[in-house]
Chains A and B, each alone.
Chain A
Amino acid sequence: MQNKRSGSITLVPYYVWIALFVIAPIVLVGYYSLLDLEGNFTLENYKNFLTPVYLKMTLSSFWYAFLITTVCLVVSYPAAFIISRLKNKQLWLMLIIIPSWINLLLKTYAFIGILGQSGPINAFLASIGFEKQQMLFTSASFVFVSVYIFIPFMILPIFNSIDKLSPALLDASRDLGASRLYTLRRVMIPLTMDGIKAGIQAVFIPALSLFMITRLIAGNHVITLGTAIEQQFLVTQNWGMGSTIAVFLIIFMFIIMAFTGEKKKKGASRRGKN
């Protein structure tokens, strides 16, 4: 009983924190989204969002976030598996995490140099007799740089779940006659699903609202909802419209969270029944 009470007291800072920094901002964003430029209540912003310009933008945001997440997953899963089997796995993991300590802007500027016409890649292509390629300001370079930036966030949770997976389970599956592919499909992936889901959440949601990189690397050939929010707040100073876009982003995020979270619960209850 006493334990329980002290538990609820220690929870107070947590509730205050949630109220101040999670609930209050969301309420404020919702409030601002209902204001026009003069501060009057209006639904105009929402009507504006449901026009082709913003719907197309939403679609392209989702498309690129999907591409980035997929490429991240395809690269990270085998990488995490290999790292978990290496002798100095903590060191290798560290090497993957270290780049995420460097400021995002610095990394992005570095890529402008690397991918540019006079950058090392083009210099190499030219030296072996190829024509210089336009790499900067393409959607491919945008996906490439974003994947580079997000990979640590995908590898970490997947690595943790693979690392926890007992190798004996894989051996057992093999001993019982399952092929490698079958083992991967029916044993390894289901047992590491939590890590995969956590990774997808950690990549897909921020990827939806990327901005900056869309300008620096894609030269605005890619426009995401994040770009639009930045412009509404900083240039147009139309906080209402910026908030409206943010409201939709928040809704999308909840949908994604529910989507990637629900299956986890189901899995747990099934395990409980057994």
Chain B
Amino acid sequence: MKNLVKAIIAIAIICAALMYTVHSLDKTSSKAGANVLTVYNWGEYIDPALLKKFEKETGIHVIYETFDSNEAMMTKVEQGGTNYDIAVPSEYTIEQMKDKKLLLPVDHQKIPNLKNIDADFLNLDFDKKNHYSIPYFWGTVGVVYNPNMLTKNLDFSSWNQLWDPSLKGEILLVDSAREVLGMSLNSMNLSLNSTDSAELKKATDKLIKLSPNVKAVIGDEVTQLMVNGDAAVALTWSGQAADMMYDNEELTYTVPDEGSNLWFDNMVIPKTSKNVDGAHQFINFMLDPKNAAQNADYVGYSTPNKAALKLLDAEVVNDERYYPSAEVRDNLHVYKDLGKEKIGEYNELFLKFKMSLQ
């Protein structure tokens, strides 16, 4: 009993000490005062040297936090209690955040470097005239594979090659309804934004036929598994594929001819921002050609900054795996926010597909 009381007291003291430390740390950071910028970004999605450079140039202190899913990020902004000045959601989330009035408009006057962005990436459907968002990185959904592990000579120029019987138990899929059902829709030359229930059912039936080839449906663990050679083929995003190829040179990435998803991550200013001016400075800073090139080089995703492309390694820029030609890009489509009900239908069907895995 005595020991128990001692233990409880010890825990209480430790908690009090920790709370005090957190409190005093908070105080010092808020003392740095008005000139603090809180950036909320995906993990491993910026060159830390750039943050230092930004602090030095502007005198603004940057607090950097990371999230791992659009939904988690949006929930945090929505619930309040945070003061993020910059966030980097994907396009369909921007649509939702716009609808929920979670974003502040971006003042283009304060971002002269906007001229560096390729016009192809501006004025897109999810945010006409870029009222709320500025492009950060973009990429595709495709197939990453290890040619040395294939028993048959496949190049995945068509999605339908995934159904090849020689791939039994070799395919990893991302655990995301839009990507997987979209892939099946694309393989039948249908739109990945389809809202036609008959088409979706057809896509699901086709997916169920894929199940013998599916090794697992998982999340970010795909990267490590592909690098280790646990599977021969994976459906994944171009950026993740770039990470894998960096660690395992046997791997290669391709976007099948029928078309696929084109995605954008964009900088936005959440309504929680306390330093709107600093946020604009930050966006402008990231659009500077030199900074954008340095960032793209570090992160490995494709930059929408056409002035930065000239500064990047020609080998990377001309690599169609990262920067597909305009011709290929015509076949790529951006996800639209289909509304809760349709998303629910996609997920129900995806669940049905997952149930067919044995």
Measured CB to CB, the residues of A under 8 A from B are 37, 53, 56-57, 112, 116-118, 134, 136-137, 215-216, 218-221, 223, 228, 231-232, 234-238, 241
Contact = CB atoms under 8 A, between A and B. Distances in A.
Nearest to B96: A237
A104 B224 CA distance: 20
A221 B175 CA distance: 12
A37 B340 CA distance: 7
Interface residues of B, number: 28
Given A53-B355, A112-B221, A37 B341 contact: yes
With most chain B CB atoms within 10 A of its CB, the pick from A215, A232, A234, A241 is: A215
B218 interface: yes
Nearest to A115: B230
Contact of B351 (A37, A112, A221, A228): A228
16 contacts: A53-B351, A53-B355, A116-B228, A117-B230, A118-B229, A215-B218, A218-B216, A219-B217, A220-B217, A223-B354, A223-B355, A231-B351, A235-B177, A236-B340, A237-B71, A237-B340
A86 B43 CA distance: 49
Interface stretch (B128-136, B184-192, B342-350): B342-350
Given A53-B352, A112-B221, A216-B218, A118 B347 contact: no
Contacts of B358: 221
Interface string B200-218: 0000000000000001111
Contacts of A134: 169, 215
Nearest to A37: B340
Interface of B: 71, 169, 172, 175, 177, 215-219, 221, 224-225, 228-230, 340-341, 343-344, 347-348, 351-352, 354-355, 357-358
A231 B352 CA distance: 13
A220 B218 contact: yes
Contacts of B225: 116
A118 B71 contact: no
Nearest to A136: B230
Given A117-B229, A223-B355, A234 B219 contact: no
B160 to A, nearest CB: 23
B334 to A, nearest CB: 19
Contacts of B352: 53
Given A216-B218, A220-B354, 17 more contacts: A37-B341, A53-B351, A53-B355, A116-B230, A117-B230, A118-B228, A118-B229, A136-B216, A215-B175, A215-B218, A215-B219, A219-B215, A219-B357, A223-B351, A223-B354, A232-B347, A238-B344
